[in-house]
Structure 1
Amino acid sequence: MSQNKNALIRYKTIDKCLQNQYRKWTLEDLMEACSEALFEYEGKESSVSKRTTQLDIQLMRSEKLGYNAPIVVYDKKYYKYEDEEYTITDIPLTETDINVLTETVSMLKQFKDFSLFSDVSDILQRLEDKIYAEKSHTQPVIYLDKNENLKGLHFLDILYQAIIKKVVVVLNYKSFKSREPQQFIFHPYILKEFNNRWFLVGKKKVSQPIVNLALDRIEAVDFDFGHPYAEENFNAENFYKDVIGVTVNQGQRVRTIRLWIDADNAPYVITKPFHHSQKIEEHREDRSIVISLMLKINYEFERLIMGFGEGIEVLAPESLRQRIRDKHKKALRKYDLPVK
């Protein structure tokens, strides 16, 4: 690993430590934390010296890196941020940064006709928006839906590293149905986001099927270098092509689903299809429509239908129609009772 990347990992680690105001951090504590962070990234012992940590703190305090970190010493041996809200990850862009980013975005946009660009165009759009906001000192004009309070987001980086380095992880995982967390090894293949929640997709054992685990149910993550990583030719596009969401009921066949959509909701369903297989079968005189989908029915799809209330009617298959009808009946009964 390059020395520059090593340094960035150390700065990020020191920053993360000092954000934790509930613990007292000595220089030795910061040295140990940096050593552990480098071990996680490199997979080998890397002892950070006292001198290196002192220089890191000095650089973080200075203007050289643009941090100007308010690191202070108290009780003659403990380090902390004088401003408890400070973090190096929330530093405004300098004019030089903005100029470099502007040139980079302009260069990348020259490749807009290549298929690769379609995968990164939204990222560049957000980057352009950030640059504009910094230049004009205005609020960004692009806002994406996100949940800052979602649990488990801090595991994204370590899980990402495990996936790209093909390392088995040990997870402490507590499902909504469990009273106590369970610990098990896991072979991670991809990270998937759906409806503002992140999921880790992989296998517990080579012989077992692919499963997804919600990051907000993970309580601890560690690397396990003792277990060989289960290589698998996992293709996420193929795996999820017949479902909406993250739940894939393996072994279940694809069904033809027919839905009636009322006039109020029809424009939304037309302009934002539920799935790539969606086809409009009928346009009715009352401006309602009938659509068909080719899907494996799962929990997420049923929740999607329920969310439209009376605006959607399942026409086929009959088993799904009955299940949605029963759910609506149960919901209606609750509204027939007085509020407790």
Structure 2
Amino acid sequence: MANSKHAHLRYNILDNCFRNKSYGFEELLRILNEGIAELYPGEEISERTLRDDIKVFRDKKEGFDAPLPEGIREYKYSDGNFTIAQRPLQKYEQYLIEAAQQLLSRFENHPKYNKLAEALIKFQDEEEQENDASKILFYDHNEEYKGIKYLKPLYLAIKKRDVLRVVFQDFKADKSISFDFHPHVLKQYNRRWFVYGLNSTRGIKEWSIPLDERLIDFDILENADYSESDTDWDTFFRTMVGVRRMPNAQVQKVILRFHNGRENYFKTKPFQPDYDEFIEEEKQDQIWFETIINLELVQQLLSYGQDVEVLEPESLKNQMREHSKGMGQFYVK
């Protein structure tokens, strides 16, 4: 039986190695022990453990059934698209998931448990369904979103305070650009992730990068001094809808009037969590909040169609008026 200590970590490291290039046995052992020591200083595995791990990868019944040819001195998948992430959970992994659920059930009445429980239920449901008919959960998921692969590396870069050299190409740009970036926080919006930090090449401290195909690549800059953030990120995000914030954007008071009872829908799912209601009875269909005016705010308002009316500020009313005129031209008889 393979050594189960840190097995998930070992398997992920090996999977990454086998996908990218050919490695000899000794080189694999060195890379594995370096990865383990990074998270668990002073710990390492033996040659025997690595040989057992390779058997797990090749095992068709109890392992990953990986396309890892035998009889050669170097190890690499014969199918470059293969990854163990596509394979069902191993028995010990299923045990860990179930153990985690049992542990978290002790905190069932704690608000923090709710999100963890949701994640575990989604994960377990996907693992247990053998066909579409067995599905229980149908949740909002962006099947085409490829940027999730950047989430963990950027999270670790923030934790380790790494400075990155980023290569980025906008959709409308003819060529890519590169810049030095000090990542500070990650933000999710509309089923996509964004990383914020200091663009030291341009001297902008609250620069955002979408985690999608525009992010071509990034590398860690060795021996570069990391700049800490002095931004109050909680306030930064709570005074805006979405992710776009122009430099020197000013917070303004927005007042909305809802029609056809749509204020009740807004209150169950507000796109601005810090909204407030009016005390006056004649204003029960109105709410207000303070925010910057950006494209995401306008998009949220447009999603309500004719059931929302902007009362203040005048600049936002003008934007909504222009959008209404623009859409109207598509429906002229």
TM-score bracket for this pair, using the shorter chain length = 0.7 to 0.9
Q: Name structure 1 gaps, 5 residues minimum.
A: none
Structure 2 letter corresponding to 1:184: F
Match of 1:192 in 2: 187
Q: Post-superposition shift, 1:301? A: 0.5
Length, aligned pairs only: 320
Match of 1:302 in 2: 298
Match of 2:103 in 1: 107
Q: Is the 8 A contact 2:311 2:317 kept in 1?
A: yes
**Matching residue within 64, 67, 81 for 1:68:** 64
Counterpart-to-counterpart distance in 1, 2:248 and 2:17: 47
1:224-252 CA distance string (max 9 Å, x none)? 12310102244421221211112234533
**Matching residue within 227, 240, 244 for 1:247:** 244
SS of match in other structure, 1:122: helix
Cα RMSD (Å): 4.1
1:191-250 CA distance string (max 9 Å, x none)? 111001110110112953311111112100111123101022444212212111122345
Instruction: Compare 70-79 and 212-221 and name the one that shifted more.
Output: 70-79
**Matching residue within 270, 273, 277 for 1:276:** 273
Specify whether residues 283 and 196 from structure 1 end up closer, same or farther in structure 2 by C-alpha distance, changes over 3 A only. farther
Match of 2:164 in 1: 169
Q: Is the 8 A contact 2:167 2:217 kept in 1?
A: yes
Instruction: Compare 170-179 and 29-38 and name the one that shifted more.
Output: 29-38
Q: Post-superposition shift, 1:51? A: 9.0
SS of match in other structure, 2:205: coil
Specify whether residues 110 and 36 from structure 1 end up closer, same or farther in structure 2 by C-alpha distance, changes over 3 A only. closer
With normalisation by structure 2, the TM-score equals: 0.78
Q: Is the 8 A contact 1:258 1:291 kept in 2?
A: yes
Match of 1:222 in 2: 219
Instruction: Compare 197-206 and 32-41 and name the one that shifted more.
Output: 32-41
Q: Is the 8 A contact 2:257 2:308 kept in 1?
A: yes
**Matching residue within 114, 120, 125 for 1:127:** 120
Instruction: Compare 179-188 and 127-136 and name the one that shifted more.
Output: 127-136
Q: Where in structure 2 are the equivalents of 1:147-162 lying within 5 Å?
A: 147-162=142-157
With normalisation by structure 1, the TM-score equals: 0.76
Specify whether residues 267 and 108 from structure 1 end up closer, same or farther in structure 2 by C-alpha distance, changes over 3 A only. same
Q: Is the 8 A contact 2:18 2:77 kept in 1?
A: yes
1:280-301 CA distance string (max 9 Å, x none)? 337769xx92221221222211
Q: Is the 8 A contact 1:13 1:33 kept in 2?
A: no
Instruction: Compare 102-111 and 197-206 and name the one that shifted more.
Output: 102-111
Instruction: Compare 188-197 and 294-303 and name the one that shifted more.
Output: 294-303
Counterpart-to-counterpart distance in 2, 1:218 and 1:149: 15
Q: Is the 8 A contact 1:168 1:224 kept in 2?
A: yes
Match of 2:12 in 1: 12
Structure 2 letter corresponding to 1:181: S
Structure 2 letter corresponding to 1:127: L
Structure 2 letter corresponding to 1:102: E
Alignment of 1:212 with 2:208, yes or no, is yes
Q: Name structure 2 gaps, 5 residues minimum.
A: 40-44
1:42-84 CA distance string (max 9 Å, x none)? 59xxxx99998765423322489x5332334289678666788
Q: Post-superposition shift, 1:130? A: 4.2
1:238-283 CA distance string (max 9 Å, x none)? 2212111122345333221111212153332122122222233377
Structure 1 letter corresponding to 2:116: I
Match of 2:42 in 1: none
Counterpart-to-counterpart distance in 2, 1:181 and 1:58: 43
Specify whether residues 132 and 170 from structure 1 end up closer, same or farther in structure 2 by C-alpha distance, changes over 3 A only. closer
Alignment of 1:320 with 2:297, yes or no, is no
Counterpart-to-counterpart distance in 2, 1:10 and 1:94: 14
Structure 1 letter corresponding to 2:144: N
**Matching residue within 288, 292, 298 for 1:292:** 288
Counterpart-to-counterpart distance in 2, 1:41 and 1:146: 36
Q: Is the 8 A contact 1:260 1:315 kept in 2?
A: yes
Q: Is the 8 A contact 1:67 1:88 kept in 2?
A: no
Counterpart-to-counterpart distance in 1, 2:159 and 2:59: 34
Specify whether residues 158 and 34 from structure 1 end up closer, same or farther in structure 2 by C-alpha distance, changes over 3 A only. farther
**Matching residue within 259, 262, 280 for 1:262:** 259
